[in-house]
Structure 1
Amino acid sequence: MGRRTGAGRGALGHGWTPARGTVTLCAAAALATFVAHPAWGAPGTEGTPTPYAFAEDDTRAEGATVTADAVRLDPGHTYRSALPATGKRYYRLELDSAANAYVSATAVPGAGARVSSADGLEVSVQDAGGTTCSTGTAHFGPTRSPHPIAAWASRETGAGTYGCKGAGVYYVVVERRVPGSSASTPGDWDLELDYVSEPALDRDGATAPPGPWNSATPEAVLGDPIRRAGGAGFAGASALGRGVWQDAIGPGQTLFYKVPVDWGQQLSATVEMGSSTGGDGFVGTALAMSLYNPVRAHVADADAGYNGAQTSAALEPLPPVDHANRHAVGDRVGAMRFAGWYYLAVHLGAPVADRFGDGPFGLTLRVRVSGTPVSAPVYAGRAAPRDVFAVTAADREEAAPGATGDRGASQGAPGAGAMAREDGGARGDGTGRGGPEEDTGTMRLVAAGGIGTGSVLVLGLVWWTAVAARRRARDRWAG
């Protein structure tokens, strides 16, 4: 991967201070770009984006080599750990007999690591007697490129489930799945664990999946694209509502986005990669998009090859969100069981650089959320984290066109009002966020300052914000 150009990392001049001389508008634009693209703002190897941005509030949790030493995970929290090349790592859950427990593990090989398409990750939940409640796996796949991958497992207690229903101690077991012929790098992988608790229903629910649903391929979403930078991890995913969204991506990079999908609504998404200005040949699987539900459980994938001409990949039709979908066979339907944020992880394979250069390459996402929201199921308790299975007015605002930092969105943009209305009544009034909170605040400062005499003061604030953000990112990376 080469250094990103155009929308890449801005450079701060040596010895610059807010009081020194005259600051040019070009410098302001460079600083704003540095802060505005979270995927390129974290420290790493010079000229290389770090592969994943962990949540700021992750708690350290060292995986144990035996169950007797396993540390306890608490619902509603995320944890940072590590996964060695060989051996299992254990974590402890203390569960009652009512709530469902979902644990997702995101594995992140280091920058420059080697992996094969068959290398992957396995996550299991087991009871104290050694019975496996569920198991999930994930693989790097045919991009042959190291990138964050997530697998999940659960303990479920509802109607239609069998075993693992009692209160007591359970264990999360995480290990690599590496074939004997793999030439993968043997170093540790970073690991992020996400633990969500879902309460039981207030009364017995369905024991079978819902009836037929509209599985026709939806029409493409049209309109002028709005620029919104993707995040570098689940926690920093950028919110997208219904519309056409534009970004840029480099080989080996993974960008994260999130879409609010309410009970009864259907989600569809297509990702497009723009043409190249040079190079030749063909990369069989260059572009890959994965969809995850609110507990970071895998739902579906879409991928496309690349020969230098524009290409695209679309998710297969997905059912409306329904609590009873959990009784269906297969992730594509069964994982559409919650309302909340659904995550799109878009990865561009590192081999693209060998044939078409370091990029960045234009990226377009066409997102549709259709259907009228219906009443949520009545739970007997509270989820952890709270509101993880709900879509709030603030969520819709965050995902609406016109959020702070967007480019190409305005009150007069074709279709902007229609997109906001179809996405659940969100207002495109600039109140949404296109990235982390510190990024949004900085972009507001830039917008408020203008080009007048206050620009120097505003740029000084931008500079100090950028420095603080980089220090926080460096501390997280080091810690």
Structure 2
Amino acid sequence: MCATALSAGPAVPGAHAADRPRPYETADDAQRVHGSPSSADAPALGTGPATDRIGPGEEHFYALDLDARSDVHLSATALPAPGTRIDYRDGIEISLRTTDGDSCGSEKVTGTGQTAFPLTAYVARLTGADGNSSCRAAGPYLVRVVREDGDDPSRWPLELSVLREPALKGSIPAPHPGTENESDADSPRPAPPSGTPRPVAGGSGFNDARAVGGGVWKDRLRPGETRWYRVPVDWGQRLHTAVELPNAARREDGAGRFVARGFRMNVYNPARGPLYSESFTSYDGDGGKTDHYSNPVRYENRFASANSATRLAGWYYVAVTAGPDLAGPFPQGVPVTLRIAVRGKPKPGPRYGGDARAAGIGVSDEDRETAAKRLTRAEADDAAAEAALLRTVGWSGIGTGTALLAVLAAWTLLARRGGAAAVQPVAGPPGGTPGPGGFPPSP
């Protein structure tokens, strides 16, 4: 009965109008925080996701305690409402700094294409990097998030993420030679996967992204919507992703099919760091395509001046946004073909001094199975819980059955022995005459 209940799958996402883009679903277990405009009152961030809200022109501070050995990866994802119009004046910036005010890194992202989509900025504290030694010391730090005062007056939901990467055992590897020349622009494209596309429904964000493996996939997006997919990419592997739109039917009214801000795709590493600075691709009515080919995933990429985001093995996220103006050529939704290939054989990863898998780093056989089954994280967790329950019930059943069989066997043996004793004649005195029933006569 418990297994049947678990097999029912995850709860249906929050209700929304069928003709409207689905909004981003924040993590169910996220820490609720309220960023302070003063660093003196900054609330503490834990490991994992946290949620807040931020208005135009606001500055939020959060506190973070760091050790002297672990690399720490931070991201801030701002969530303008799908379907609204934002542009380069609307943006988000995240920075890490010491309590003395020294900067340990920052990143800013802005809107583009007059289209709302999740804006993710990323920064990391790297203990093996050159630079300010105060940023590698143990102690308190401050996370600062600033929203640009743009055209959208609404307060945006904000999701923060903290990934703590265990320290390495031994020395830190030097930057890999040739990494600077392995950029997306400089890499010849491999042949994309072919075959009949398989249906897949992308998630709303990082938390419910649909797992997929290599192959050809098809989805249908509402204009103005962003859908998310995740792919396991191991150490030494490269991720090739391509998004295609078909031709649009010619309209009877003769309206044009060209859309200047058609669609957009970006890729994010396991710590939610964007791999590319991506704008929108135009659509001319006869079809459209955009693709990316990452450099190989290596620990030492983090110390390179280019291609540094492919620094962690694990789940890589692919986000596809359909511009709202695609409602013209595609009034019934935007059909999207997604071609995904993971190139190269997995290579041994770095030797960590802690549990990297618990931190979300690395690829396991279970991850590959999750991708083959096209599960979200919640569905994968439910499947794992169901499997564990079935194992427990199975072993309990075996134990109970074994004990019952042992009791039955002992009972049978005793019954047989008792029966044998009841019918076995007892010898009387020599030459005596047995009494009734075989027993000797009473004296």
Shift of 1:74: 1.2
Partner in structure 1 of residue 167 of structure 2: 200
1:122 aligns to 2:89 (yes or no) = no
Give the match for residue 115 of structure 2. 145
Name the residue aligned to 2:291: 314
Q: What displacement does 1:258 show? A: 0.4
CA contact (8 A) 1:81 1:191 kept: yes
User: Structure 1 residue 73 and structure 2 residue 73: aligned?
Assistant: no
What is the TM-score when the length of structure 1 is the normalising length?
Answer: 0.71
- Pairing partner for 1:158 from 120, 128, 135: 128
The range that moved more, 247-256 or 153-162, is 153-162
| Residue of structure 1 aligned with 2:69, choices 69, 76, 98 | 98
Q: CA deviation at 1:200?
A: 1.9
Task: In structure 1, give the amino acid aligned to 2:341.
Answer: R
Partner of 1:352: 326
1:284 aligns with 2:251: no
Shift of the 434–388 alpha-carbon distance from structure 1 to 2, 3 Å rule, reads: closer
Partner of 1:293: 269
Structure 1 contact 65–88 (Cα < 8 Å) conserved = yes
Please give the per-residue CA displacement for 1:400-437, whole angstroms capped at 9, x wherever unaligned: 2xx2xxxxxxxxxxxxxxxxxxxxxxxxxxxx526742
SS of aligned partner of 1:72? coil
From the superposition, tell whether residues 324 and 67 of structure 1 become closer, same or farther in structure 2 (CA, over 3 Å).
Answer: same
Instruction: Point out the structure with max Rg over C-alpha.
Output: 2
**1:73 maps to amino acid:** L
- Look up the SS of the partner of 1:386 in the other structure: helix
SS of equivalent residue, structure 2 residue 369: helix
Matched, 1:326 2:299: no
**2:313 corresponding residue in structure 1:** 339
Please give the alpha-carbon distance, in whole angstroms, between the structure 1 residues aligned to 2:279 and 2:318: 11
Q: Which aligned pairs between 1:395-406 and structure 2 lie closer than 5 A?
A: 395-400=367-372, 403=373
Match of 1:456? none
Stretch of structure 1 that moved more, 289-298 or 196-205: 196-205
The offset of 1:149, in angstroms, is 1.2
Distance across 1 between alignment mates of 2:52 and 2:339: 34
Equivalent residue runs for 1:243-258 within 5 Å: 243-258=215-230
Aligned pair count reads 365
Contact 2:248–2:257 (Cα < 8 Å) also in 1: no
| Cα offsets for 1:29-88 (capped at 9, x unmatched) | xxxxxx9997xx53235732332111111121111111111111112x101111111220
Change in Cα spacing, 1:345 to 1:294, as seen in structure 2 (3 Å) is same
- TM-superposed CA distance for 1:303, in Å, is 4.4
Aligned partner letter, 1:326: R
Note the C-alpha offset of 1:211.
Answer: 3.4
Three-state SS of the structure 2 residue aligned to 1:325 is helix
Given the alignment, which residue of 437, 452, 456 partners 2:379? 437
Comparing 275-284 with 86-95, greater Cα deviation is found at 275-284
Corresponding position of 2:107? 136
Identity over aligned pairs, percent: 34
Secondary structure in 1 aligned to 2:190?
Answer: coil
In the alignment, what sits opposite 1:365?
338
Aligned to 2:355: 382
Unaligned runs of 5+ in 2: 1-8, 384-443
Corresponding residue for residue 178 of structure 2: 211
**Aligned equivalents of 1:84 and 1:260: distance in 2?**
35
CA contact (8 A) 2:129 2:303 kept: no
How far apart are the structure 2 equivalents of 1:161 and 1:247?
45
Q: Give, in angstroms, the shift of residue 367 of structure 1.
A: 0.5
2-side partners of 1:198 and 1:123: how far apart? 19
- Structure 1: which 5+ runs fail to align? 1-34, 404-431, 442-479
The answer to whether residue 162 in structure 2 is matched with residue 190 in structure 1 is no
Match of residue 26 from structure 1 = none
2:54 partner amino acid: L
Are 2:206 and 1:234 equivalent residues in the alignment?
yes
Residue deviations 1:365-417, cap 9 Å, x none?
A: 1101011111110112234x7151110111101112xx2xxxxxxxxxxxxxx
* Aligned-pair CA distance for 1:270: 0.3
Deviation sequence 1:80-100 (CA, Å, 0-9, x none): 111111220011100111111
Conservation of the 8 A alpha-carbon contact between 1:283 and 1:305: yes
The answer to whether the 8 Å contact 2:10/2:379 transfers is no
Counterpart of 2:81 in structure 1 is 110
Change (3 A) 1:36 1:101: closer
In structure 1, C-alpha distance between the alignment counterparts of 2:208 and 2:81, rounded to whole Å: 19
What is the DSSP-based 3-state SS (H/G/I as helix, E as strand, rest coil) of the residue aligned with 2:370? helix
CA distance in 2, matches of 1:435, 1:87: 32
AA matched with 1:152: Y
The whole-number CA distance in structure 1 between the counterparts of 2:104 and 2:59 is: 17
8 A Cα contact 2:261 2:325, kept in partner: no
Write the distance in 1 (CA, Å) between the matches of 2:175 and 2:60: 35
